[in-house]
Structure formats: structure tokens, C-alpha cells
Structure 1
Amino acid sequence: MTTEEIITALERAWNAGDGEAWAANFAEDADFVDVVGRIQRGRATIARESQNIFDTIYRGSTLRIRQVSSRPLGGGFDLVHTATVLSIPAGPMAGEAQAVQTKLVHDGLIVSFHNTIRGDIATFARHDGDLAARSPQEWDS
């Protein structure tokens, strides 16, 4: 599959609440780091864990995925960055969440996927205005 086909298939699977279809875009031995930092290894685990959230906290949610960039790395590998907007209609996570993802795609399947929630830098910096105003490279100074 092309990168665009993978993105379309992921979006369609999420919006259908179908964990198997979501995981079908991953290699059998893929690694997936979810938004809370859990490492899910293997297509079967990704399918099961995805179905769990589709049936619970993200029930009825809709996902929009936009490709930010893609570049070939050679050997059939592509580095892909996407941005998402997740709309959750009800429950403890109701509202809208934005995230960015890094995917390593090999021969039409995702072999690695890292999902990172987008948040407010001031909140992350615990409302420290000086820290929030710094660039990430200055955080350790």
C-alpha cells in the first residue's frame, strides 16, 4: 500500500471502530507506542488493544488524519509524519484531542508507530511562564 492508502485505511478503520482493520495496516511484528507510552508489540496485540478502546473510551469517536511529511529512507522504508484530530462524542474523554504520529513504513505496512498527544506547553511546563517561553533546546539550561 502507498502511504496515502495506509492513512485512508487507518482513518476508515478507526471511524468504523474496527480493531482488526486498524491493525491490518501493521506488519505482523510491528511496534506501536500509544499516547500514554505503552509499547504494543505485534499486530494481534495492536488489534486487541485498539478494539478495547474502540469499545470503551473512544466509542463512536471519529478520527481525521493528515499527512504532514513523508520521505524515503531507502530499502523500501519511508518515514511518515501525520497529525490527527480525534472527536470523542461522550464519556470520560469527551471532546477533541490532537496528536502527531511518526510511522516507519516498510513495503506498504507500518513497522513502527509512535503516537504523541499534542498539549499546551504552559500546562506541560506546570504553568512556569519562563520555561514555557523557552525552546526545547533551552530546557536543560
Structure 2
Amino acid sequence: MTATDDERICSLWDAMAQGWAAGDAHAFAAVFAEDCDFTTVRGEKPPGRAGIAAGHDQLFRAAFRATLLDARVRSIRHLRPDLATVNAESAVVAADGTILASTHALAVVERAASDGAWLITAFHNMIPAPRPATPLAS
């Protein structure tokens, strides 16, 4: 676990943002493992990298066409030298700067033994709910 590992992990989110900006669903999905366990903000579970690419291809052709992804890694926790959790925040930004959606994600990243590349193996994305005005009764 080195600063280089953290930089490589952060570069996964940079690559996602570049794929998003290009409207290239395959480039966006390239940072995910072939069998990634991915949960969308709607609780959908696309099957692996191919499903992630297919779902984002639809988004890039419709609701999020010509948008940018402002993705920020907030923390990395190394569980083992080849395994870490990542907390990230993202915003989908329209051409005029309007934020269309804000998300938080918890991801699991793993370094491949074969080539040392980091990939996202699990990703749970969500839209934060506002806090209730009054505390909920227990």
C-alpha cells in the first residue's frame, strides 16, 4: 500500500469521468471487473461490466447526453495490500453547470495478481436522502 496505489485507485474515477465526458459507455465501464457487483441508484443490478456499459450507453444517449461527471474519491481504506474500500461522491453536471444529480458510492477495489492493475469489483451507488426535519421515533 503506497501513495502510488492510492493514485492508481483514484485514477479509476478519473477514467470514469473521461469516459462519461466522451459519452463512451465502454470506456466508462472499463474500470469495473468483468463480473463487478454493481448496484445503481435505483437498486438495479446490471450483470457485470457488460451490463454497466449497456446501462450507461442508454443514459449517454438520453437523460445524461452531453453531461459531465464530477467524481471525487473521499477516502480509501486498505483492507489488504490487494483490496480496499473507496468512498466516492459524484455529480452529473449539465453543459450550463447545473447539477442534475449527486450520488455517493461505496466501492470495493481489487488489485489483480496477474498485472497489478486495480479494478472495481463491487460498487453500490446511491442518492443521499435528506435528513428528516424531526428525529424519527425508535
Structure 2 length normalisation: TM-score?
Answer: 0.82
Query: In the TM superposition, what whole-angstrom CA distance separates every residue of 1:40-66 from its partner, at most 9, and x where no partner exists?
Result: 121111111111111111111111011
Does 2:102 correspond to 1:98?
Answer: yes
2:45 to 39, 45, 51: 39
Distance 1:43 1:96 in 2: 24
Distance 1:57 1:117 in 2: 16
Distance 1:3 1:75 in 2: 12
Counterpart of 2:115 in structure 1 is none
How many residue pairs get aligned? The number is: 125
Does 2:120 correspond to 1:110?
Answer: yes
Q: Which has the larger radius of gyration?
A: 1
Counterpart of 1:120 in structure 2 is 130
Indicate how the Cα distance of structure 1 residues 75 and 95 shifts in structure 2: closer, same or farther if over 3 A, else same.
closer
Query: In the TM superposition, what whole-angstrom CA distance separates every residue of 1:6-29 from its partner, at most 9, and x where no partner exists?
Result: 111011111111110011101110
Runs of 4+ in 1 over 6 A off after TM superposition: none
Counterpart of 1:19 in structure 2 is 25
Aligned residue for 1:71, secondary structure, equals strand
Q: CA deviation at 1:96?
A: 2.6
Is there any run of 5+ residues in structure 1 with no aligned partner, and where? Answer: 123-128
Distance 1:5 1:44 in 2: 21
Indicate how the Cα distance of structure 1 residues 105 and 88 shifts in structure 2: closer, same or farther if over 3 A, else same.
same
Does 2:15 correspond to 1:9?
Answer: yes
Counterpart of 2:92 in structure 1 is 86
Cα RMSD for the two superposed structures: 1.9
Quick one: percent identity of the two aligned structures?
Answer: 30
CA contact (8 A) 1:26 1:109 kept: yes
Structure 1 length normalisation: TM-score?
Answer: 0.80
Distance 1:86 1:67 in 2: 15
CA contact (8 A) 1:89 1:95 kept: no
- Report the AA paired with residue 15 of structure 1: A
Q: CA deviation at 1:75?
A: 5.4
CA contact (8 A) 1:72 1:79 kept: yes
- Report the AA paired with residue 120 of structure 2: I
Distance 1:7 1:99 in 2: 13
